[in-house]
Each structure stands twice: as C-alpha cells, then as structure tokens.
Amino acid sequence: MSAFLDFGSDAVLLAGLTGDNWRLKDYVARGGYESLKKILSERIAPEQILAEIKLSVLRGRGGAGFPTGMKWGFMPRGAPEKYVICNADEGEPGTFKDRDILRFNPHAVIEGMVIAAYVMGCARGYNYIHGEIWEVYERCEEAVDEARAAGFIGSRILGSDFSFELFNHHGFGAYICGEETALLESIEGKKGQSRYKPPFPANVGLYGKPTTVNNVETFACVPLIVKNGGQWFLELGRPNAGGTKIFSVSGDVERPGNYELRMGAPFAKLLEMAGGVRDGRKLKAVIPGGSSSPVVPGAVMMETDLDYDSIAKAGSMMGSGAVIVMDETRCMVRCLARLSEFYHDESCGQCTPCREGTGWLSRMMHRIEHGEGRPGDIEALDRIAHDIMGRTICAMGDAAAMPVRSFIKHFRDEFEYHIEHRRCQVADYV
C-alpha cells in the first residue's frame, strides 16, 4: 500500500488518502457511506439532519462562507422538482483543494450530495467540474458509475423509498461559471452569465426550479457531520466557524500544497507546514483567500489566525482558502498587473462597470508596469476599482476591484516608484 499523503495532523477530510485509494471499496473500508446507510435504515427525519448541520456551523467553503444549514433551510418543502448542485468549477487563482478532494476522495462528495438531496428532497443533482481538470472529470464519471452500481445513487437507494440521480457536467474554460447563477446558466446550455438575485436559486434555480449549490469541500464535510455529530464538527473549529479548512498554499513557499487545519489555526503554522518561504527569503505579502481577496502585508499575516473573523480583522477574507505567498523579491505592481489581466480576460461582459472597468484597470496596470505610468494613475486605478464595486450583477466586479485597492493601499510606494522612475523598485525574479 502506498504511503498516506501528508495534509497535516489535523486532517479529517483528507485523512488516510494515498492518492490510489479513491475507489468505492476503499471509501467503504474507511467507513464511507455509513452515514447514508444509517439515515436510510433508521429513517432519520430530514429536519433532524438539518439541525445537526446547523449545529455544526458548517459554512460554505467556496468563498462566501454562508452557513450551509441556513442555505438548505431556504429550499421550499414539497416542490416536485428540485436540484442539488456541486460547484466544482474551481478556477479562483490559487485554489486547488477541490481537485484533490475529487481525485483522491470522490465518494465523500457523492455521499454528501446524496445526503443533501435527502434532506432537501431533491431527485436529481449535478456536479459541475472545472473543464481544465479533465482527468478529474473522468474520475468522477467512474466514481458515479461505481456508486450507481452499488445502489448508493439511483432509484430506491439501498431499498428505501428515496431516489436520487447524480450526473457530472464539465465546464470548458470560463471563470465566471464558479458564480452559482452563471453555473446554472451553463448547465442549461447557455453562455455563463450571472442572473439577478433575487430570486435566489432556492426559489428559481436550475430550469427555474428550486436549487441549492454548494462547494465540493462543503459536501465532503456532510457525511462526517452526520457520522460524528454537529457538536463534534463545531468543536474542531471556532464558535462561528465549525470544522477544519483545507488551505491551498501556492507561490513562494518550499512545499506548495493542500494543508488541512482546524479553523482558527495560526497562519504561521500553515506557512511552516508549507516549508516556509522559499530559499529562506523574507515574507512580503500574502493573498489569503484566492486572488479576489485583498492582499495582506506579510508581517500582519504572521500575526493572524485562519478563520473568517480573524482574516477579516486583518483586512481581507477567508474566501476559498487559497493562500498565495509572495516573497521580498516580488514586484507588487507586476503581481497586480497579472491579476488585473485575468479579471479583464474573464469578465463575461454583461455589466458595463466590470466589462469596461476591468479593461481600464488591466491596461493602466500594464502601462505602469512597463514604465509608461502617468501622474494621477494611482488615483484613477483606485477610483475605477471603487466605481466597479457594488455596481455589478455578480461578485466578479468586486473580485476584480478588491485586489487593486488593497495592493495600492499597502504597497503604494512601489506604484509611485514605477511611475516616477519608469522602472521597478525591487529586484524581480518572476
């Protein structure tokens, strides 16, 4: 048997995984599908499971951090056609946890989805998988086939009167489809442009029917909560954020990778697990929650714990848990220029402030980076970013604006130097 992959000693979601033991028989050997069996054999009432989920204070792991139990509670009772959707369109730069969950432990997500469907009374579900991780999509196809053959999905699951069908749907290169309403449009066979909310998907979702969309990691937590109880899960974390969290660490560290820690663990511990800053250099800055979250100076981050409130206090957000580390040799102008290019590239074009604003930001950043910045550019960047925020249908506008404002706030001197001296202040090895 191959060695366990090391995701840290706090790991519960990623514990016992070797990279090869993803199949149904392996998952069952680890105690998988026991939660579902228990629910169906003991006919546990959906309300009772929902109460445990609420007690656990499981919050959405895709980025918004919305309480999962509350979200499930929004689904209307009794509607004949309802959907449960897994958002595996993981494209937020720096985020790569869902890929590992799905390729190493796909059945945990399937079991979580089946339980969610049971609680909310959904007969059909889809797992929307990022198009770029094609091999993971193929693995999920195999895993769903295995689960269907074993009677964990399909008609009259495990002999009960509960039926649920589950299918995988792949994306094909659109960051915006990670936004839940754009994702629904995409499943309907349209371009992925976000819908106005309200109505929320719980009322008008896929094909106009009540729908709940949760992240991969969120679903993976569900069987564990059912098995060990909401209180157990809550106590793994902080009072208003239960459980563990998988952090994807990338950038200037010795060992980029996924590390699972209890909510509220110190950032310094995570950095240590990732082997520290590469080549013994000094930590300059950290983007703690995916490229859309505001950048935080390294010194501040070293004093910060990894939970929603602590990261908010440090001026940023937990987001997807994607931690991008930048060392002292990195040019912040260059880093932001690349992120701005990304948002311009990915803007779906529906809302003018985002469509035009991301283009302005990207072109101005390009200009400043290449020594062609003009006086007043920094103020213009900040103003454009400010004017995008809160003026678009979906959160992508804010996602494009937040990095800009925070990079300027914390590293203004580098931007000023670039404009004044027409070159970079720091030696750069990118």
- Residues forming contacts to other proteins in the complex (CB under 8 A) are 90-96, 98-99, 124, 126, 130-135, 167-175, 186-192, 207, 248-252, 256-258, 287, 291, 322, 324-326, 330, 335, 338-339, 342, 345-346, 348, 430
Tell me the closest approach of the beta carbon of residue 311 to other proteins, in angstroms: 19
Q: How far is the CB of 128 from other proteins (least distance, A)?
A: 10
For 100-132, give the DSSP string: HHHHH-HHHHHHHHHHHHHHHT-SEEEEEE-TT
Q: How far is the CB of 359 from other proteins (least distance, A)?
A: 16
The structure tokens listed for 285 are 């800055």
- Least distance to other proteins, CB of residue 404, Å: 14
Which residue, 89 or 307, is less far from other proteins as judged by CB? Answer: 89
In the complex with other proteins, the residue whose CB is nearer, 190 or 412, is 190
The burial class, CB within 10 Å (0-12 / 13-18 / 19+), for 309 is middle
CB of 343 to other proteins, least distance (A): 10
CA–CA gap between residue 316 and residue 204 (Å, rounded): 32
CA 245 to CA 323: how far, in whole Å? 12
3-state helix, strand, coil in the chain (%, to 5): 45, 15, 40
Distance CA 230, CA 232 (A): 5
In whole angstroms, the minimum distance from the beta carbon of 236 to other proteins comes to 23
Nearer to other proteins, 66 or 167 (CB): 167
R_g of the chain computed on alpha carbons: 22
- Give me 260's structure tokens: 């699972």
Can you point out the beta strands (E) in 228-336? 244-251, 257-262, 265-266, 283-287, 296-297, 305-306, 322-327
**Smaller CB separation from other proteins, 342 or 415:** 342
The values of phi and psi at residue 29, to 5°, are: -65, -30
Q: In what helix (H) or strand (E) does residue 84 lie, and over which residues does it extend?
A: strand 83-88
Q: Smaller CB distance to other proteins: residue 40 or 133? A: 133
Using DSSP's 3-state secondary structure scheme, residue 363 falls into helix
CB of residue 6 vs other proteins: minimum separation in angstroms? Answer: 12
Q: Say if residues 406 and 315 touch (Cβ distance below 8 Å).
A: yes
User: What letters, b where the CB count within 10 A reaches 16 and e where it falls short, cover 336-356?
Assistant: bbebbbbbbebbbebbebbbe
Q: Token pair 């509220």 is at which residue?
A: 264
Residue 146 to residue 381: CA distance in whole angstroms: 52
Site of tokens 């895993």: 143
Closer Cβ to other proteins, 332 or 385, answer by number: 332
* Closest separation in Å from C-beta 98 to other proteins: 7
Q: Which is nearer to other proteins, 30 or 169 (CB)?
A: 169
Q: Whole-angstrom Cα distance, residue 118 to residue 89? A: 23
Total number of residues shown for the chain: 430
Indicate the residue among 102 and 419 with the shorter CB distance to other proteins.
102
Q: Smallest distance from the beta carbon of 133 to other proteins, in angstroms? A: 6
Quick one: 71 or 330, whose CB is closer to other proteins? 330
- The minimum distance between CB 45 and other proteins, in angstroms, equals 28
The residue among 19 and 31 lying less far from other proteins, judged by its C-beta, is 19
CB of 63 to other proteins, least distance (A): 13
- The residue among 14 and 234 lying less far from other proteins, judged by its C-beta, is 14
Query: Where does residue 1 rank: exposed (0-12), middle (13-18), buried (19+ CB within 10 A)?
Result: exposed
